[in-house]
Amino acid sequence: MAPKEQNLLDNRDERLSSFYHVVARSTDIDDSPTTISILGRDFVFFRRQDKVVAFEDRCPHRGAPLSIGDFCEDYIECGYHGWKFGYEGAAIEIPALGGEGTIPKAARLSSPYSVVEKYGLVFVALEEPKAQIIEIEEFDDPNFDVGYLETFEARQHCAFLADNFLDVAHFPFVHKATFGDGEEKVVGDFEIVEDGTSFTATYEHSFSNREDPLVHTGEHELVQRRRLTYRYVPPFQLTLRIDFLATGGVNTISFFIAPTAERSSRLYSFLVRNDLGGSKLAMGEAVAYEEKIIVEDLAIQEAYNAKGFPLSASGFVNTRADRVTSTFRRKLREALGEDTSDE
Ligand code: FES
Ligand SMILES: [Fe+2]
């Protein structure tokens, strides 16, 4: 079947222009230009007067990458023929014309894009964004510590990675070597609350908390309650908050996936926890453990040779146990402006 008939979403889909995508850690962007691909196109990012600015990495004259030019206080000078552009985008000088010639109207860069810095990450929307950046209240709470994972490059379309993040049925199989061994095979009955094109899925259950030191002293029961809260904001922003109800511990895992090129994604993730007492060592261990889990997931995700992620309900076989990921797929469709009344 041709990809169109299957309604596949690939990482370069134009509709993804109207959403925020993560592009870098804030610390990665300084006053020298950095080229970053989003939706298969190159953009140049740099910091000017403390704000991150982005343009398409292309000079309108002969298409040379702007990033090889000079980024000065008041203008950008293209490295090829020296055209100068003000930061609003318009050309202000074309050296080959001397002082005389008229600068054509079309001699301008793309308008600067909407760039937001949040959670120590940089986000860009190439068109008016249709969704905000996901809220993580714990991030600014002084009782919580933040630990960033390394950035992962994945040979897969973003939607598969988002689907995987929301999926619990794979835990006992893919994560056998880390946390999956004691996990239940039967998927619980998640409560799903939809809010526009976003949703929250919650599930409370019992589990064996072998990491709780008070279990070993007999002060806490081994079998404790845990609440999982998954949140989704389109197209590829996700969090999982784990509340350990007996200890008051909270571990929130964030997941921001950038569509860099066709079947090529970049993954930014950080942990926000209140149960590590500010210990850098403990956070380092928690981050390393989470990275191991992501490596297990990517081994499966990269093994698919997919042209895109099936958006239609008929693209995959769904069971009752796939309600959360089915909701993700439907919300993503809605966010992209598709009619889902056929579902
Ligand atoms: S390509 Fe940029 S000035 Fe000619
Ligand atoms: Fe996983």
Domain positions in the chain are 20-125, 137-335
Compute the average pLDDT of residues 283-296. Answer: 96
Answer whether residue 262 shows pLDDT above 60.
yes
Q: What is the pLDDT of residue 11?
A: 97
Indicate if the pLDDT at residue 107 is higher than 50. yes
Which ligand number lies closest to the CA of residue 96? Answer: 1
Q: Do 137-335 and 20-125 have the same topology in CATH?
A: no
Tell me 196's DSSP state: T
Check residue 146 and give its pLDDT: 98
Q: Which residue has the higher pLDDT, 114 or 79?
A: 79
Region 138-152: mean pLDDT is 98
Q: Which CATH number fits domain 20-125: 1.25.10.10, 2.102.10.10, 3.30.70.1230, 3.40.50.970?
A: 2.102.10.10
Q: How far apart are CA 302 and CA 300, in angstroms?
A: 6
Pocket test for ligand 1, best of 78, 85, 108, 110 (most atoms within 8 A of CB): 78
Does the Cβ of 70 fall within 6 Å of ligand 1? no
More confident residue, 65 or 314: 65
Which option is the CATH number for 137-335: 3.40.50.2000, 3.90.380.10, 3.30.420.40, 3.40.718.10? 3.90.380.10
CA-59 nearest atom, ligand 1: 2
Do the beta carbons of residue 56 and residue 78 sit within 8 Å?
no
Inter-residue contact 46 to 52 (CB < 8 Å): yes
Q: Confidence band (pLDDT; 50, 70, 90) for 180?
A: confident
pLDDT of residue 3 exceeding 60, the answer is no
319 by Cβ neighbours in 10 Å (0-12 / 13-18 / 19+) ranks as exposed
Q: Is the pLDDT of residue 51 over 90?
A: yes
CA-wise closest residue to 243 among 279, 274, 278: 274
Closest atom, ligand 1, to C-alpha of 64: 1
**CA–centroid distance, residue 154 to ligand 2 (Å):** 14
CA of 109 to the centre of ligand 1 (A): 11
Name the pLDDT band for 5 (thresholds 50, 70, 90).
low
Q: Is the CB of 93 inside a 6 Å radius of any atom of ligand 1?
A: no
CB contact set of 254 (below 8 Å; sequence gap of 6+): 119, 134, 136, 238, 239, 268, 269, 270, 271, 272
Q: What are phi and psi of 286, to 5 degrees?
A: -65, -40
User: If you average pLDDT over every residue of the chain, what do you get?
Assistant: 94
